[in-house]
Amino acid sequence: MTVALGIDLGTSAVKCVLTRQGAVIGSGSANLSSSSPRPGWSEQDPLDWITATENALREAVSNAGISSDTISGISFLVRCMAQSFSIKKMMFYVLQFFGMIVVAR
């Protein structure tokens, strides 16, 4: 049976959920930190997004008791992301994490 992966990159955490036929079979999350270099400013390191995503994915796959190669679809939600770090880069890292091959056209 096919498994779908949902990834939510939020302001305070990355959350991952795995579903099979609409039922949740595993989930994971990893907190994100931010810094305030000046009053009214808030910053995050994009590399922390990658690390948190990998950790949340590992937790979700472990909780589901499946192999990552059974995942057949990925949905990615991002609330806010710096323009210097694109969604395509983030998806590349997610796909690389699972050892999937992407052909760009």
* Other CB atoms within 10 A of residue 5 CB: 22
For the chain, what are the domain ranges?
3-97
Q: pTM for this one?
A: 0.78
The architecture in CATH of the region 3-97 reads: 2-Layer Sandwich (3.30)
pLDDT of 21 reads 93
Instruction: Classify 94 as helix, strand or coil.
Output: helix
9 close to 77: Cβ distance less than 8 angstroms: yes
In this structure, are residues 32 and 52 in contact, taking their beta carbons and an 8 Å threshold?
yes
- What pLDDT score does 103 carry? 45
Summarize pLDDT for 42-63 with one digit per residue, the tens: 888 878 888 898 899 999 999 9
- The pLDDT, as a whole number, for residue 105 is 41
pLDDT for residue 59: 96
Q: What is the pLDDT of residue 46?
A: 79
pLDDT at 42: 80
| Residues 6+ away with beta carbon under 8 Å from 103 | none
Which parts of the chain register pLDDT below 70?
79-88, 90-92, 95-105
| pLDDT on residue 28 | 97
